[in-house]
Every structure is written in C-alpha cells, then in structure tokens.
Amino acid sequence: MPHREGFACAGNWIIDHVRLIDHYPTEEGLAYIREESKSTGGGAYNVIFDLRAIDPELPLYAIGVVGEDEDGHFILDDCHQRDIDTFQLVASEEAPTAHTEVMFSQASNRRTFFYHPGANNLLDAPHFDFDHCLARWLHLGYLLLLEKLDQSDAEFGTRAGRVLQLAKAAGLVTSADVVTAEAEAFPRVVVPALPYVDYLVINEIEAERTTGIKTRQEEGLLKDGIAAAAGKLLEAGVNLGVAIHFPEGGFARLKTGENFWQGSLELPSDKIRNTTGAGDAFCAGFIYGCYHEWPLATCLQMAVCCAAGNLGVAASSGGMLVKEANLDLMKNVGVFKL
C-alpha cells in the first residue's frame, strides 16, 4: 500500500449568502436588505478549513462536487489559497453549487435559512478514488444531507457505507458526522453505515435520533442517556470510538471501554460572536487528536478548545489556534462542570 498521510474531507460544500434585513416580512410583504456577504459552510468545507487552521503543514484533500459557477470557483480558489488538494473536488455543469440564503433579521436577531442542495446531491461512490488520494483518514459529512450517498445499497446498506468501506479497504481510517434531520430518517440512513465508520462524531440530538435513547430533558443533559447512546452506537457497528458533543461539553467512548467526559469552556458572553460551525470545530479537534493517537482525554480537550475558538469568529470555520496551542485556552477560562 502507498504511504498515506493527512485527511481527505468529503461531503457538503456550501456557500452561505447572508442578507442582513431590517425585519422578516410576512408573505407578500417587503423587507429592506441592509448588507450582503458570502461565507462558507458544510461538513467537508468547515472541517477541512478547521484542520488547516490547526495544522498549516498537514496534507489535506477535498472531495466533492460543486457547480461550474461563481460560487464553485470561489470554493476552489479558497482551497488553493490554503494548499488543499482539489483533484477530486469536481466542478459540474449539471447543477449549481450548493448554497443557503440566510436572512438575518435586525429586528429579531434571528436567522432564517433557505437551502438549495445543488451539486452536493450529485456526489456518489464513483467520485472517490483512493488510489490517487493519498490521505490516511477520510472524514465524511454530513450523512442525511447527501442525496445519492444517502440512498440504499444492497451490499453496504447505503451508498455512503460503500464509500466508507472503499476507504477502509484502501487502508484509510474513517470518520463521519450527520446533520440534525427529521428523526425518522436516522434508522434508514445513519444506522446502516455505522459498521464502516471508525469514529462517529455527532451531537446529543443526533445520538438520540439514531439510538432512540433520550439524551436531554427540560432540566438539562441526561448523562446516563449520553453514555448509553454512545454504547449503543458502538454495538451498532462503529469500530473504534464515538464522540458526542453538546453545549455543555462532550463525551467520548472507545470500543475498548474507555470513557471520558469534558466540560465546555466558559467564555465571556462578549467573546461569543457565532455558534455556527462549533460542532464542526469540535469534530476537527477530536479527529486531529485521534489521528495523532493522543490519549482520549486530550482528544476531547482539544475538541472543546477548538469549538470554543470558533465561537470567537464570525465565520463558521477557522477560529482555532495552531496544534496544541488550542489546549492552552483551558488555562485561561473556566470549564463547565458536568
């Protein structure tokens, strides 16, 4: 087998068109657009940029489909500027680049989203070539937001399962994340892919919808439920470990039985600019630690520190420090007690 190093990140590549509006209108009403901006989003896009922020020298490979359009070229240029290999990030004329129209109301301080999946829905098993991609690790995100990969497969449960098994057969470690979709979709799409996932990184709501085990109630987090859900996900086929994140922190359990709880960092409210992308930042920190075979506790600490770093930036990715410097954040702020 060839020498492998670094990460391949595959899945959703999305451009957010953010419109700052004076208020959200009723149907047939009118609102003024005060400002417009463009930002990045999606599981693959956010995680690969977070990994680049963590490690400027790590080999990174982008896999996915964008449109042959302005947004698609924006994504490709963005990757090139960060020294990310785009050999398998295909620009297609069949569909536009996936995009979200984000309406941010000044009156309510709330956001409303209109999502067009576009070229993300074209991504399928033939787009993955692990002979030419020399990454040691494949991260796939998000399950439940990739139309073709979410389809059933007679041999591997889903098309995503087929891709993950292709990666494992080529010698790669695999990880996956899911989107918080409707509950009934989880057993059909997520569960069949689990035997081909080495590390699953999801939030507590997604863990509950995948396993049927309650993880939160009105009074707060159900720690017993979180631990039980992680155990059930391992029983369902996850090969090496499960990490579950939530606003209060994170929990990880390995197939060996090792567990660790880690509270989130208690940042001052004036240091929190944006919560979008915090889950992807947690994921990037966790899998980076696992890639380097750090102790489980350190992996989870890295995850919550990366999530905290991303809360301080307006974008959905890239707010963390370089490598282990992220862990120094824990020395300067309080930690939520679980």
Q: Minimal CA–CA distance to 271: which of 213, 216, 226, 332?
A: 332
The predicted model gives 206-214 an average pLDDT of 98
pTM of the model: 0.93
The predicted model gives 321-325 an average pLDDT of 82
**195 CB contacts (<8 Å, ≥6 apart)?**
157, 161, 236, 237, 238, 239
pLDDT band for position 318 (cuts 50, 70, 90): low
**135 CB contacts (<8 Å, ≥6 apart)?**
4, 5, 6, 7, 8, 59, 60, 61, 172
Please list the residue range(s) of the chain that carry CATH number 3.40.1190.20: 7-24+33-184, 198-338
Whether the predicted pLDDT of 313 surpasses 60: no
**Per-residue confidence (pLDDT) for residue 268, from 0 to 100:** 61
For domain 7-24+33-184, give the CATH number: 3.40.1190.20
Q: How many angstroms separate the CA atoms of 338 and 247, rounded?
A: 11
In tens, the pLDDT along 145-177 reads 999 999 999 999 999 999 999 999 999 999 999
> By percentage, how much of the chain surpasses pLDDT 70?
94
Give backbone dihedrals phi and psi of 261, rounded to 5 degrees, phi first: -105, 140
Tell me the two tokens of residue 60.
């990174």
pLDDT band for position 86 (cuts 50, 70, 90): very high
pLDDT band for position 119 (cuts 50, 70, 90): very high
| Helices of type H across 236-295 | 278-291
For domain 198-338, give the CATH number: 3.40.1190.20
Please work out, in degrees rounded to the nearest 5, the angle formed at the alpha carbon of residue 63 by the alpha carbons of 62 and 65: 120
pLDDT band for position 323 (cuts 50, 70, 90): confident
Whether the predicted pLDDT of 272 surpasses 60: no
**12 CB contacts (<8 Å, ≥6 apart)?**
41, 42, 43, 44, 45, 64, 98, 120, 141, 142, 145, 146
The predicted model gives 80-106 an average pLDDT of 96
Upper half-sphere CA count for residue 302 (Cβ side, 13 Å): 27
pLDDT band for position 275 (cuts 50, 70, 90): low
Out of 55-59, 63-67, 303-307, pick the least confident: 303-307
Whether the predicted pLDDT of 243 surpasses 80: yes
Helices H / strands E in the chain, number of each: 8, 19
pLDDT band for position 18 (cuts 50, 70, 90): confident
Tell me the two tokens of residue 188.
């059909």
Q: Minimal CA–CA distance to 144: which of 114, 116, 118, 180?
A: 180
